[in-house]
Structure 1
Amino acid sequence: MRIALLAHLRHPVARPFAGGMEAQCWALADGLMARGHDVVLFAAGDSDPRFPVDPVIPVHHERSFPELEHRGDAGLKAHVDAGYAAACDRIAAGGFDVLHNNALSRLPLERRRLAGVATVTSLHVPPYDALRWFVSDSLVPGHRITVTSEAQRRTWWPEGAPPEVSVLHNGVDPAAWPFRERGDGGAVWSGRIAPIKGTHLAVAAARRAGLPLTLFGSIEDRDYWEAQIAPQLGGSIRYGGHLSGDALAGEIGRASVFLFTPCWDEPFGLVAIEAMACGVPVAGLAMGAAAEVVGEAGHLVPPDAGPALAQALAQAIGDALAIPRTVPHARVLRLFTRDRWLTRCEDLYARAHRAAHG
């Protein structure tokens, strides 16, 4: 198939990945091309040049409009909207069999645009007001919508989702996150360093449990980093940088427990299955889809424990350490592999294409 992939524009679709959306869009382009599809990635122009990139904007907007995401900046909104509008026009005229829309933009969801090309939209976020109405109005023939978890589907459609909506769990390549039979006795945390990711909770829990902890990831919120994380570094708590690929997989895989601390309704939690693929059990918060993703591969605590939360997380760390490493690894092989995810995507593309062409 000839497939257009439309990405979020805050960061480039390139290593080291800023977050799960960039990682999954990269894996989608890479996997579909390996399966023989003709793929064009519509993304920021500084995305990975190994892919055929049609730039939506010249460079990712965190570079040209730094730290303005979610702040209602009119200049950023106009810049992004103009890029997406032109890109949608090029996609409509580009002879594509299907568009896989991973953007956080209302524009690909407009009915007049959906009429031009079969579309699969993957929702990676909770039901923000800026998207909610457009999503509900976009249920037309030739459009399929996916969410990353049952928990996310319930959040978007608490009274039951329409038949055009399905759960598409994220997946990882187990070869890229190799299994290790034993850990080094320490804890690890990975993700975007920002309040909603709960980095500070991981630090507090590791200290309470008496385990060394290494943090990995991009520093998304500089004020949060300087006020709550940087002062905690030293001794048993260290920052390992923003790594990717084999380097990050090696660091994650040598740990004995992974700390997963979302402070929002996390739609999925890609970092958790990356660690699980390596055989690392998970301790963390039961927020959003965490319980659905982690299952028997970890121990989670409710987020409403108040002042006792650090102690509850420390106890969860101890419980998770007792889980055999084969358990998280087996869960990923059963439910969350990249091949399983790509096959589901291909099926959705075919369904959307058939519905669009009657």
Structure 2
Amino acid sequence: MMRVALVAHIRHPIAPPFAGGMEAHSYHLARGLAARGHDVTLFASGDSAVPEGVRLHPVVATHYDRDFPWHRFHGTDALTAHLDAAYARAGRDILGGGYDIVHNNSLHRFMPRLAVAHGVPMVTSLHVPPFDALRRAVHGGIAPWTRFTVTSRTQLDRWWPGAPPPEASVLPNGIDLAEWPFKASGHGGAVWAGRITPTKGPHLAVRAARRAGLPLTLFGTIEHRDYFETDVRPYLGGDIRYGGHLRGADLAREIGAASVLLFTPLWDEPFGLAAIEAMATGVPVACTDRGAVREVVGECGRFAPSDDVAALAHAAREAIGLPRADCRARVEALFSQDVMLDRAEALYADARAAAPVAAPSRAFRPFELQVAPPVALSA
């Protein structure tokens, strides 16, 4: 049994119904570790709803997207200062908490630096393509007691072009298969699930469904209201509809009843959690060919260029004919929660075994991690 500090991203609460894949990943990782007997503390926003057996340590009182909406504040000094102050406090609390291992899902540059400076065994999971501030912290955060994971081989190449260091490896996301029951047949229509925002491409899904003559229901939180009103709503009506933002069991039932998932990322998708959730229920995937999508979906999907609605419509019609049992089998073999947890525990053991016997001072060093609001700490 280990005392685990799991540090989450704080853009959204870690609570169902999940805003996106990162929130779902942190929640289910915490729950799975606790079920295996580990003592888990989740560092997240105070409005999170932690699984049974997991303690919540608030990093901020409420998730930051409420007061600093990402599409307005991304890259601003105000949001940077807010996040720096929050993770500086979290750093102090981690150093004083007596944890055996830290699993860092924060996407913030302070955590890898804390691990190196203070000899803290840490696994950092990178759920996004590299951006400058985090890339510098990660590349400077290599130590015998640190491990870095990405969700796909595609992302490993993005973070470390050429040969990655031995401390970096692929840890795919995993899901609880019991929460995504297999259904042997669908109703003939399509489904789309995710955050409704331009980079997720629901506007492509509605246009492709119209072109293919397929009924389509969209599910997910409307993150970017103006985009929804201008680029998605005009295509709604008849058998193309928005079904709301559903909790797990209801969403699994709706997805499993479909005959194809339209998965339409318009960025370099690091993984594709919505795709494996659908595949677990037996639903094949028609998707834009971006990032790690082809690597994750494999033979359970058909692919189209991200700027070709006609090709996506054709992919959807073709995907409907793929064997549903093969989709479930792929997730069972590669993307189950048990596969993920086994690998995570092995990484924890490796990092702990390599930690310095005489660790660097655990006293908090403000000059390394702290920033005085409202001035952002330079990366």
- 4+ residue runs over 6 A deviation: none
Tell me if 1:84 matches 2:87: yes
Whether the 8 Å contact between 1:43 and 1:55 is mirrored in structure 2 is: yes
User: How far apart are residue 66 of structure 1 and its match?
Assistant: 2.9
Q: Secondary structure at the match of 2:318?
A: helix
Using the alignment, how far apart are the partners of 1:70 and 1:261 within structure 2?
Answer: 25
Q: Distance in 2 between matches of 1:112 and 1:192?
A: 32
Query: 1: distance between equivalents of 2:127 and 2:153?
Result: 13
Structure 1: how far apart are the matches of 2:141 and 2:172? 22
User: Which position in structure 1 is the counterpart of 2:267?
Assistant: 264
Asked whether the 8 Å contact 2:41–2:57 carries over to 1, the reply is: yes
Matched, 1:121 2:120: no
- Which residue of structure 1 aligns with residue 373 of structure 2? none
TM-score, scaled relative to structure 1: 0.96
* Alignment of structure 1 residues 32-111 onto 2, 5 Å: 32-50=33-51, 51-67=54-70, 71-110=74-113
CA distance in 1, matches of 2:346, 2:291: 27
Q: Is 2:165 aligned against 1:157?
A: no
- The answer to whether structure 1 residue 297 and structure 2 residue 300 are counterparts is yes
Q: Secondary structure of the residue that 1:41 maps to in structure 2?
A: strand
Note if 1:216 corresponds to 2:215.
no
Read off the aligned partner of 1:147 and give its amino acid letter.
V
Deviation at 1:222, TM superposition (A): 1.3
Cα displacement (A) at 1:102: 0.2
Q: Relative to structure 1, is the Cα distance of residues 7 and 340 closer, same or farther in structure 2, using a 3 angstrom cutoff?
A: same
> Which structure has the higher relative contact order (CA within 8 Å, separation 6+)?
2
Letter in 2 for 1:128: F
Q: Distance in 2 between matches of 1:43 and 1:93?
A: 17
Report the CA distance shift for 1:239/1:74 in structure 2 as closer, same or farther (over 3 A). same
Give, in angstroms, the shift of residue 332 of structure 1.
0.4
Q: Within the alignment, does 1:202 sit opposite 2:212 as a pair? A: no
Question: Aligned pair in 2 of structure 1 residues 229, 324: CA closer, same or farther (>3 Å)?
Answer: same
Q: What is the one-letter code of the residue matched to 1:295?
A: G
TM-score normalized by the length of structure 2: 0.91
Whole-Å Cα distance in 1 between the matches of residues 317 and 281 of structure 2?
A: 19
Q: Which residue number corresponds to residue 30 of structure 1?
A: 31
Q: Is contact 1:216-1:242 (8 Å) kept? A: yes
Residues in 1 aligned to 2:176 and 2:89: alpha-carbon distance in whole angstroms: 33
Matching residue of 1:230: 233
* Structure-1 residue corresponding to 2:318: 319
Aligned-residue sequence identity (percent) comes to: 58
Counterpart check, 1:18 vs 2:19: yes
Contact 2:260 2:284 in 1 (8 A): yes
Q: Secondary structure at the match of 2:59?
A: strand
Q: Which amino acid aligns with 1:314?
A: A
C-alpha distance 114-124 of structure 1, shift in aligned 2 (>3 A): farther
Q: What displacement does 1:315 show?
A: 1.0
Aligned with 1:287: secondary structure? coil
* Cα distance in 2, alignment partners of residues 108 and 59 from structure 1: 20
Identify the match of residue 138 of structure 1 among 112, 137, 141. Answer: 141
Answer with 9-18 or 225-234: which moved more: 225-234
User: In the alignment, which residue of structure 1 is the partner of 2:284?
Assistant: 281
2:170 corresponds to 1:167: yes
**Runs of at least 5 residues in structure 1 that lack an aligned partner in the other structure:** none
Contact 2:305 2:312 in 1 (8 A): no
User: AA paired with 1:222?
Assistant: R
Q: Secondary structure at 1:3's aligned position in 2? A: strand
Deviation at residue 75 of structure 1 after TM alignment: 2.1
User: What is the Cα deviation at residue 314 of structure 1?
Assistant: 1.1
1:65 positional shift: 2.0
Cα 1:174–1:69 change in 2 (3 A) is farther
Letter in 2 for 1:40: T
* One-letter code aligned to 1:131: L
Alpha-carbon distance between aligned partners in 1 of 2:78 and 2:154, rounded to the nearest angstrom: 34
Shift of 1:49: 4.2
Between the aligned partners of 1:74 and 1:134, the Cα distance in structure 2 is 19
Paired residues of 1:98 and 1:353 also in contact (CA < 8 A): yes
